[in-house]
Amino acid sequence: MGNYRRVAAHEVILPDGKVLHQAIVEICDGSVLNYYEFQDEMPLTEWYDGHIEVRLNHEGIKQAFWVKDSGSDGNLEKLFE
């Protein structure tokens, strides 16, 4: 497995518009592997303020973006190239 990271936010917005609360997103080499809600904190998890959006790129690969605050796409930061 390459560059693996586990990130969490109070809200994760999925490509279909569904919102997960208190959720983790698992990412490897820039692609989203998994996402899920949780109750107990997981070790080695990075917390982000704002929310995370999971989007499909032009090839249909899921990628994660950190939205620093509610507003326009100008506040998006791609998580992990």
Strand, helix or coil at 68?
A: coil
Whether the pLDDT of residue 8 is over 60: the answer is yes
Strand, helix or coil at 73?
A: helix
Other residues' Cβ atoms within 10 Å of the Cβ of residue 59: 7
Q: In which domain, by residue range, is 21 found? A: 4-78
Q: Are 75 and 3 in contact (CB under 8 A)?
A: no
- CA angle in degrees (0–180, nearest 5) for 37-43-47: 60
Token pair, residue 16, equals 């279909």
- Per the structure, how many domains does the chain have? 1
Q: Tens of pLDDT along 20-58?
A: 999 999 999 999 999 999 998 888 999 998 899 999 999
pLDDT for 67: 85
